[in-house]
Amino acid sequence: MRNKNKFANIYLVLVFVVLYAPIFYLMYYSFNSGGTMRDFEGFTLDYYREVFQDTRLIIIVINTLVIALLSSAIATLIAIFGALAIHHIRSRRAKNTLLSLNNVLIVSPDVIIGASFLILFTIAGIKLGFTSVLLSHVAFSIPIAVLMILPHLQDMSPTLTDAARDLGATRRDVLTKVILPIIKPGIFSGFFMALTYSLDDFAVTFFVTGNGYSTLSVEIYSRARQGVSLSINALSTLIFLFTILLVVGYYFLNRRKARPGAAIAEPAAELGVPR
Amino acid sequence: MQSKGRPYYLIPYYLWIALFVIAPVLLITYYSLFDLEGNLTLDNYANFFTPVYMRMMLNSFWYAFLITLFSLLVAYPAAYLLTRTKHKQLWLLLIILPTWINLLLKAYAFIGIFGTFGPINNFFDLLGIGEQQILFTGFSFVFVSVYIFIPFMILPIYSALEELNHSLVDAARDLGASGWTTFRRVIFPLTISGVRSGCMAVFIPALSLFMITRLIAGNRVITLGTAIEQHFLVTQDWGMGSTVAVFLIVIMALFMLLTGRSRKRGAA
């Protein structure tokens, strides 16, 4: 039994090592004065300086954050109503149809989403750039946010809304004072998932950015295609640290609030899982 | 709230479905009927059935299959072992964390790792095997893709395993089933829904990984995703690109229908 345990631990450690190796590899070479990812010559912070002096890059980082925050907020708002719509439909068939339509963008390959949105924006006469990127991010974030909110609506006891109505609450009161507070955790995880989708997206954005406007992943792609440049390493180190901060913050925020642990298992269980 | 008319606040959601779910599929289908000069034609479809595209499609599905298979082989034991650790939530968080690093950065890291002077080749040198061409091969494409998808495979399997009723496993053991039999006859069938979700979460995106084929496989591997990207953004042949997309959509729909049916049975 002990032997078996040891084996298990080695396997897990190996998985973790492989998962993190590339990330630490990038971080390590970001300090290399040699300018390559080959031999480590000496310690330097030059590439970090380069990143902070690169105004174009900083603008792109800001673009990325603006798009992510704005699109997630809009998408979550629309998704709340979408989830309500799906929840309130009585007919099983209509419900399933709506749910399937909701999930189309989750299960479609990114290239198809990108290509079809490119056609859509071209036909609609929307100039490729900020607007088209924002609209696409809103569009592909809505379904995942709906899926995060829906289980909370289903868990909600229908007697609660009935009671509220009986006590004379208006439709609006029921929504804002009963339903929304109950599904709040779902709304937050929906927003958070939308945020990660938006920050991580490359393929769709790549199709709809056009010239002159860029997000971080598109920029990294074009820089990486030109070959190795250690400022990308420095940038990824910064992004990694920022991500850890976000995650740790999110973890503790949720931990303090609700059932310990459940907070993380929940988005995890939903992540990219078509239903 | 339930039935009185259509509340106006649902409009944005229905508008979204119409504009960003239904319209794109129709537009793709419509565009697939036009050639480069804008003439209405079925040539694109005829083109698709030539050996070039057929090979590309087989290639694409073969690689997606390999990526899914290897992800599953690595992820299942990992998910199983994760459920047995203390501080599960923390370990799970550590599995999810790399997915929040942009996948292009991870792919970029592999350019260095697999490169001619990278650590893997240094290691090979040490072993006396000598330098190998790792970057720009099918192997590196599959490896990097599996690397990127593993967390997405682990998560659904992990949650399926978490929901597993442990008394069933104990019962099987008490009735004399060996460890392997218990796994094959009890644990695996009961977690098949997680496996299925994981496979879907990996297989479909694996068909459209054009950026990794470009960065890591150096255009050696051409998938349907690469073809669509090429037609839309490089050669500007939207018609042909749309045709490829139409086939991809049809195949996926069939795929979903097949897996969806069996899932419904499992859920009922």
* Mean pLDDT computed over every residue of chain B: 84
The confidence score (pLDDT) of residue B260 equals 63
- Answer yes or no: are the C-beta atoms of A32 and A230 closer than 8 Å: yes
Rounded distance, CA A84 to CA A187, Å?
Answer: 12
Rounded distance, CA A217 to CA A203, Å?
Answer: 9
Q: What is the pTM of this model?
A: 0.84
Strands (E), B172-258: none
Rounded distance, CA B260 to CA B265, Å?
Answer: 9
pLDDT tens-digit readout, B12-22: 899 999 999 99
Which chain A residues touch B217 with a CB distance below 8 Å? none
Cβ-nearest to A224 among B27, B111, B245: B111
Rounded distance, CA A137 to CA A75, Å?
Answer: 8
Tell me how far apart the terminal alpha carbons of chain B are, to the nearest angstrom. Answer: 29
Least confident piece of the model among A104-108, A255-259, B171-175: A255-259
Rounded distance, CA A272 to CA A269, Å?
Answer: 9
Rounded distance, CA B89 to CA A177, Å?
Answer: 32
Q: What angle do CA A205, A209, A215 make, to 5 degrees?
A: 65
Residue contact B208–A109, C-beta within 8 A: yes
* Neighbour tally for A273: CB within 10 Å: 21
Which chain A residues touch B250 with a CB distance below 8 Å? none
pLDDT exceeds 60 at position B154: yes
Which chain B residues touch A102 with a CB distance below 8 Å? 17, 21
Residue contact A251–B197, C-beta within 8 A: no
| Best mutation target, B20, B85, B247, B256, to test chain A (most A CBs within 10 A) | B20
Most confident residue range from A108-117, A225-234, B170-179: A108-117
Q: What ipTM was reported for this prediction?
A: 0.83
Burial class (CB in 10 A: 0-12, 13-18, 19+), B106: buried
pLDDT tens-digit readout, A147-180: 999 988 888 888 888 888 888 888 888 888 888 8
